[in-house]
């Protein structure tokens, strides 16, 4: 059994490329070329140089002394929050923009929900002097004005999408439509391990630098490459895919994913895809997704915009289905408390997405000698308003 993608683009029964005929040439050209381009020594040289000097890699693997004592295990934090732009997303956008240049593309499009992927894409477009259009639901542009401002400063055109519910799925549809009409000069940068093959595998490869670094850093610090467990939050699943990647085939490494339960798995306000989802097709991929009995996608809910997605990457659907990974559903409140706790005990304010991964420590017991790595996917600066509202509400309740 392997947990990697097969040559047809499937992880077990999940994955593939279920796309309209019109998109076929774009996807086919990408599928035929991505592995060869990524393997080129010049590509690897440019990718690694930018990761090092522009993004700031390798990110530290920090031994969290205070939390280790509290949870009675050896806890390490993989500091993706210290990357340029504040999260792991830039690892992928750097890889994809280099790939776009090898493919001879001049223009970039992307979709974004909260704006984090839009900012990471606009950043690399500024760096590479490429045209950038970011599709974003109108409702989201109003909720995420700071990220809209960032994208505009970086030179991107932000298109506010007014169809449907004016959120992420509508922005994705609009980006797809643009791509169908401009296949020659445009590359579409997808922000997570979702979408039709080869996107999930391509994004996982670019993010796999996370687990590659963990191996060499643990070898130095602990004398062994493999931890006992890796914990990551899952929206679409790209930081988790990167953190798990080099441990997938090693059964002695426990893989643990945290998804957003929102107000609670059974409240109707949730984004816990493995707990609630059923087999179906979303954004060109067969996966688990939240849907009604007649197959309508259910609007997800989470306090954290980055986990507010009705599906999950095909790799994770397979890891869940095969029981290779354990999934925990974490409520808004549990995540907020974990975010506050890390801030107070280690002086690190995490993104609320990341805080979901930290909450797993309250649900799983480890042994004192266990080495546990948590992927600290992003920093909490973007979430200060939500954190301070939470603190205000808590004080008012006292
Ligand atoms: C976008 C985001 C996520 C969720 O995306 P994945 O593809 O599941 O990693 C998690 N954490 C942060 C900080 C993010 O910005």
> How confident is the model over 197-209, as pLDDT tens digits?
999 999 999 999 9
Co-location of 213 and 349 in the same domain: yes
Q: Which of 141, 176, 202 is the last residue of a domain?
A: 202
- Within 10 angstroms of residue 62's Cβ, the number of other Cβ atoms is 17
Atom nearest to 241 CA in ligand 1: 9
Co-location of 153 and 267 in the same domain: no
Q: What's the pLDDT at 52?
A: 98
For 90-141, write each residue's pLDDT tens digit. Answer: 999 999 999 999 999 999 999 998 899 999 999 999 999 999 999 999 988 9
Assign residue 358 the CATH number of its domain.
Answer: 3.40.50.1100
Containing structural domain, residue 339: 58-86+208-397
Co-location of 239 and 173 in the same domain: no
Mutation pick for ligand 1 pocket among 83, 90, 114, 116 (CB with most ligand atoms within 8 Å): 116
Co-location of 276 and 377 in the same domain: yes
Question: What phi and psi, each to the nearest 5 degrees, are found at residue 387?
Answer: -60, -45
Co-location of 155 and 79 in the same domain: no
The pLDDT-based confidence of 282 (bands split at 50, 70, 90) is very high
**Distance separating alpha carbons of residues 105 and 379, to the nearest angstrom:** 32
Phi-psi map region of 348: left, alpha, beta (phi>0 left; psi -120 to 50 alpha): beta
**Distance separating alpha carbons of residues 37 and 285, to the nearest angstrom:** 23
Note the helical H segments in 281-331: 314-321
Whether residue 217 lies inside any domain: the answer is: yes
Whether residue 4 lies inside any domain: the answer is: no
Atom nearest to 239 CA in ligand 1: 9
Angle at 196 between CA 261 and CA 237, to 5 degrees: 30
Q: Which of 136, 169, 202 is the last residue of a domain?
A: 202
Co-location of 65 and 32 in the same domain: no
**Distance separating alpha carbons of residues 187 and 92, to the nearest angstrom:** 14
Q: Token pair for residue 382?
A: 């973007």
Whether residue 2 lies inside any domain: the answer is: no
Q: Which of 169, 202, 235 is the last residue of a domain?
A: 202
Whether residue 71 lies inside any domain: the answer is: yes
Task: Kindly tell me if the per-residue pLDDT of 395 is higher than 90.
Answer: yes
Co-location of 70 and 148 in the same domain: no
Domain total in the chain: 2
Mean pLDDT of the chain: 96
Whether residue 28 lies inside any domain: the answer is: yes
Whether residue 5 lies inside any domain: the answer is: no
Co-location of 244 and 386 in the same domain: yes
Whether residue 168 lies inside any domain: the answer is: yes
The pLDDT-based confidence of 164 (bands split at 50, 70, 90) is confident
Co-location of 296 and 366 in the same domain: yes
Ligand 1 pocket (Cβ < 6 Å) reads 87, 89, 116, 192, 233-239, 306-307, 351, 353-354, 377-378
pTM above 0.95?
yes
**Cα four-point dihedral sign 361, 363, 369, 371:** negative
Co-location of 185 and 269 in the same domain: no
Q: What's the pLDDT at 81?
A: 98
Co-location of 265 and 379 in the same domain: yes
Co-location of 179 and 245 in the same domain: no
| Residues 6 or more apart whose Cβ sits within 8 Å of residue 135 | 109, 110, 111, 112, 159, 161, 171, 172, 174, 175, 178
Percent of the chain with pLDDT over 90: 91
| Residue positions annotated with a catalytic role | 89, 111, 377
Whether residue 6 lies inside any domain: the answer is: no
Q: How many angstroms is it from 214 CA to the middle of ligand 1?
A: 18
Location of structure tokens 């007649």? 294
């Amino acid at each position: 059994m392997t947990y990697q993608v097969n040559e047809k683009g499937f992880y077990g029964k999940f994955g593939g490329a279920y796309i309209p005929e019109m998109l076929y040439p774009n996807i086919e050209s990408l599928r035929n070329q991505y592995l060869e381009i990524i393997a080129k020594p010049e590509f690897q040289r440019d990718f690694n140089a930018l990761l090092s000097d522009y993004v700031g890699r390798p990110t530290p693997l920090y031994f969290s002394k205070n939390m280790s004592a509290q949870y009675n295990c050896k806890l390490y934090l993989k500091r993706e929050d210290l990357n340029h732009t504040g999260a792991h997303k830039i690892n992928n956008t750097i890889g994809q923009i280099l790939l776009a240049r090898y493919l001879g593309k001049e223009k970039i499009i992307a979709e974004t929900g909260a704006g984090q992927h839009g900012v990471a894409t606009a950043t690399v477009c500024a760096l590479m002097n490429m045209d950038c259009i970011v599709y974003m639901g109108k409702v989201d542009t109003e909720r995420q004005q700071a990220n809209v401002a960032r994208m505009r400063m970086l030179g991107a055109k932000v298109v506010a999408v007014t169809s449907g519910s004016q959120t992420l799925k509508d922005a994705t549809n609009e980006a797809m439509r643009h791509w169908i009409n401009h296949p020659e000069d445009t590359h579409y940068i997808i922000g997570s391990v979702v979408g039709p093959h080869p996107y999930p595998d391509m994004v996982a490869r670019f993010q796999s630098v996370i687990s590659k670094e963990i191996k060499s850093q643990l070898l130095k610090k602990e004398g062994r490459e493999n931890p006992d467990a890796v914990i990551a939050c899952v929206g679409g699943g790209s930081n988790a895919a990167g953190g798990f990647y080099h441990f997938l085939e090693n059964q002695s490494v426990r893989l643990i994913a945290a998804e957003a339960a929102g107000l609670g798995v059974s409240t109707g306000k949730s984004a816990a895809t493995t707990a609630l989802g059923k087999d179906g097709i979303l954004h060109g991929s067969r996966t688990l997704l939240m849907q009604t009995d007649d197959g309508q996608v259910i609007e997800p809910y989470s306090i954290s915009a980055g986990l507010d997605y009705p599906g999950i990457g095909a790799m994770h659907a397979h890891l869940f289905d095969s029981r290779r990974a354990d999934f925990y559903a974490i409520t808004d409140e549990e995540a907020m408390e974990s975010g506050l706790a890390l801030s107070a005990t280690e002086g690190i304010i995490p993104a609320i997405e990341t805080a979901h991964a930290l909450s797993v420590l309250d649900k799983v017991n480890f042994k004192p000698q266990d080495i546990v790595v948590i992927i600290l996917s992003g920093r909490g600066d973007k979430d200060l308003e939500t954190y301070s509202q939470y603190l205000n509400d808590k004080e008012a309740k006292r």
